[in-house]
Structure 1
Amino acid sequence: MDFQDKKAIYLQIADYVCEKILLGQWPPGERIPSVRDLGVELEVNPNTVMRTYDFLQQKDIIYNKRGIGFFAADAATDRIKSYRKEQFLETELPQFFRTIYLLDLSLEEIEKRYKAFVEIEFNANKVE
């Protein structure tokens, strides 16, 4: 995983875990990778992954079954969407609006490109 300098690594890993849950790759109620396994996969210190898991537990997105491992909470999808929407609306959207204004982009062009993006990225990946 390529990490950005502007955001703490544990938060970037939290985004990664949340995305896996939202995409259904780690479904709610099912076990997610162990701290050690995810650390190896992402090439980070297990303590960083543990910090991520602690953060996600505080948000009630994952939970720990002592001795068994970590699991995605049943309501994880709703909690992730709520958390990420709040984050997006407060931090990313104002910058997006600023860029649209400065570049004089139309909402029609944004909509057209958004629809093409969804078609390519998500509809092409659906299994029939």
Structure 2
Amino acid sequence: MDFESQKPIYIQIADLICERILRGKYVPGGRIPSIRDFSVELEVNPNTVFKTYSYLQSMGIIMTLRGRGFFVSEDGYKLVLDMWRKRFLEEELPDVFKKMRFLKISFKELKSYYDKLEEGEFYEKKDF
């Protein structure tokens, strides 16, 4: 967690959970850590994790099974994928295109870097 960030901690935690869902670490129907376990792992207050889980539940990404814990909903992966694609296309990509124009980076050059990334040349594995 970046405690210096302008982004609230509970949103940073939600982003972490969503990233883990997209990476396949948390799968639809699969259990996610308890509030207590996750708060210990991240070294944050359990109330913050509770707020995160409530937020993700309100979006349908996770669900609770009484007495059993929290689970990724069956639609969780698709909901996260759709949400993150929309965010990228509407919020981040316009800035990328603006920087590309400013730096005179062509789509052909970008494709070359993308291909190298796909081949693993620039890829650094991270276990989130």
With normalisation by structure 2, the TM-score equals 0.86
Equivalent runs, 1:69-108 vs 2, <5 Å: 69-108=69-108
The equivalent of 2:49 in structure 1 is 49
1:16 counterpart = 2:16? yes
Q: Could you tell me how far apart the structure 2 residues matched to 1:49 and 1:97 are?
A: 35
Q: Paired residues, what number?
A: 124
1:60 corresponds to: 60
1:28 pairs with 2:1 = no
Q: Deviations over 1:52-72 (max 9, x none)?
A: 111111111100112211000
After superposition, the C-alpha distances for 1:64-98 in whole angstroms (9 at most, x for unaligned) are 11221100011111111111112112221121111
Structure 2, gaps ≥5 residues long:
none
In terms of mean alpha carbon deviation, does 65-74 or 109-118 score higher?
A: 109-118
Once the 2 structures are TM-superposed, how far is the Cα of residue 2 of structure 1 from its aligned partner?
A: 4.2
Q: Distance between the aligned counterparts of 2:18 and 2:50, measured in 1? A: 15
| Identical residues among aligned pairs (%) | 45
Flag as ranges the 4+ runs of structure 1 deviating above 6 A.
none
Matched residue, 1:116: 116
Q: Tell me, what secondary structure is at the counterpart of 1:64?
A: strand
Distance in 2 (alpha carbons) for counterparts of 1:33 and 1:117: 32
SS in structure 1 of the partner of residue 24 of structure 2:
coil
Q: Secondary structure at the match of 1:109?
A: helix
Give 5+ residue unaligned stretches, structure 1: none
Identify if the C-alpha distance between structure 1 residues 49 and 119 changes in structure 2 by more than 3 Å, giving closer, same or farther. Answer: farther
CA distance in 1, matches of 2:73, 2:92: 26
Provide the TM-score with structure 1 as the length reference.
0.86
Report if the CA contact (8 A) 2:2-2:9 is conserved.
no
What secondary structure is seen at the aligned counterpart in 2 of 1:71? Answer: strand
Q: Secondary structure at the match of 2:27?
A: coil
Change (3 A) 1:92 1:69: same
**Alpha-carbon displacement from aligned partner over 1:8-39 (angstroms, at most 9, x marks no partner):** 22111111101111111111101100111111
Q: Which residue number in structure 1 is paired with residue 5 of structure 2?
A: 5
AA in 2 matched with 1:46: P
Distance 1:94 1:4 in 2: 26
